[in-house]
Amino acid sequence: MNVTEYVVPLSENARKRHYHESDEGKVTCFSVQLEVFINNVWQVVIRYDSSHAFAHIDQRKLDGKKVKKELHLNISEALTFADEDIKENWKFYQKRFLEGK
C-alpha cells in the first residue's frame, strides 16, 4: 500500500489538503478538502472522501451544519474530480462559507 499526502497553500488563509491510499496502482481510499483559517483555527469548508464505503462530498456551513451528497463516480474518478474542483472553485467555496451560505 502506498500513501500520498500533501497540503497546497491557496492563499494566506486557505489551503487544500490531499490524502489517498493506493494498492498496486489502484486508489483504495481518499480525502481531499478545502480548509479556511478563521478564528485562529483551520476549518473544513468542503471535503470529498470515500469513507462510509462510497465517494461523497460534505459541504459545511459556518454554523457547523453539513450536507452530504453522494458522488456517482468510482473512487479514482472521484479523487480526480475533487482535486480539480477545489483547485478551480476554492474562492467560490470560501466566499460562500464565510457568508454563511
Along the 101 residues of the chain, how does pLDDT read in single tens digits? 999 999 999 999 999 999 999 999 999 999 999 999 999 999 999 999 999 889 999 999 989 899 999 999 999 999 999 999 999 999 999 999 999 87
Phi, psi (rounded to 5 degrees) for 63 = -80, 5
Per the structure, the complete domain to which residue 41 belongs is given by 2-98
Give the per-residue pLDDT at 57. 97
Give the per-residue pLDDT at 90. 98
Give the per-residue pLDDT at 101. 79
Count: domains in the chain? 1
Distance CA 28, CA 97 (A): 30
pTM of the model: 0.93
